[in-house]
């Protein structure tokens, strides 16, 4: 349990296409714009660093996959919150989000 500047972390995102954004304070990842029907997913690198001296940094990969056709889908929830334990193994499943096509309910 770090205190002071060592306990203050900030998040950065490596996204060459500028499709996603990350909140520097919370680590919340969001889309900057709509994705097309053929978007299947992306691999994002998240960099987390503290504000200690010297600053400590860690990275992780976040894989975002969309399966099937998704043009016009609506997510079940507007926000999905999850946490990742510091000692989680590589490949640990973090979250599942759901979306549905409103046209299918007609």
Residue 15, token pair as written in the block: 């996204």
pTM of the model: 0.66
Determine the pLDDT at residue 101.
66
Q: Compute φ and ψ for 5, nearest 5 degrees.
A: -60, -30
Domain definitions of the chain by residue range: 4-105
The CATH code belonging to domain 4-105 is 2.60.40.60
What pLDDT, in 10s, does the model give residues 33-50?
877 777 778 888 999 998
């Amino acid at each position: 349990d770090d205190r002071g500047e060592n306990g203050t972390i900030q998040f950065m995102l490596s996204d060459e296409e500028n499709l996603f954004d990350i909140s520097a304070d919370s680590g919340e990842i969001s889309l900057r714009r709509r994705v097309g029907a053929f978007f299947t997913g992306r691999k994002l690198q998240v960099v987390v660093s503290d504000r200690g001296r010297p600053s400590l940094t860690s990275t992780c990969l976040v894989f975002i996959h969309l399966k099937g056709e998704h043009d016009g889908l609506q997510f079940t929830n507007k926000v999905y919150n999850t946490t990742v334990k510091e000692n989680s193994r590589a490949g640990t499943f973090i979250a599942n989000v759901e979306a549905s096509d409103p046209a299918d309910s007609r």
